[in-house]
Amino acid sequence: MGIKSAGIDERALLLGESHSLAGIITTPAPEAFDTALPALVILNAGLVHRVGPNRMHVKVSRRLAERGFVSVRFDFSGIGESLPRPDHLPYTQSAVLEVKEVMDTVTELTGI
């Protein structure tokens, strides 16, 4: 179940291979949805969880959706509501893997 506002849809998801990364996908209204546009992945700002500093990532996601873009914001493992990684990979390796997993999930959900 998502939040619909001004024609956009926001849904909470568990992302990644292990479904342990908490995220929100924001999509435009159906009439504005365009798979020719890229989807955007908004990354954590340091240790701040997916809403971003002063909820900046929420505002950016909604503005992008108003312009037809899909975006996803998520918490890296061990940040916010995302579970810690059981394999204890260093951040420099786990972050790259997690971004790729999130991108793959967005592709599966949207075709982008």
Give the residues of the chain that fall short of pLDDT 50: 1
Tell me, letter by letter, the H, E, C secondary structure of 37-101.
CCCEEECCECCECCCCHHHHHHHHHHHHHHCCCCEEEECCCCCCCCCCCCCCCCHHHHHHHHHHH
Taking the CA atoms of 111, 44, 22 and 65 in sequence, report the sign of the dihedral they define: negative
DSSP E strand stretches across the chain: 2-5, 8-15, 21-27, 40-42, 71-74
So what's the pLDDT on residue 4?
56
So what's the pLDDT on residue 107?
95
User: What predicted TM-score, i.e. pTM, was given to this entire model?
Assistant: 0.86
So what's the pLDDT on residue 1?
45
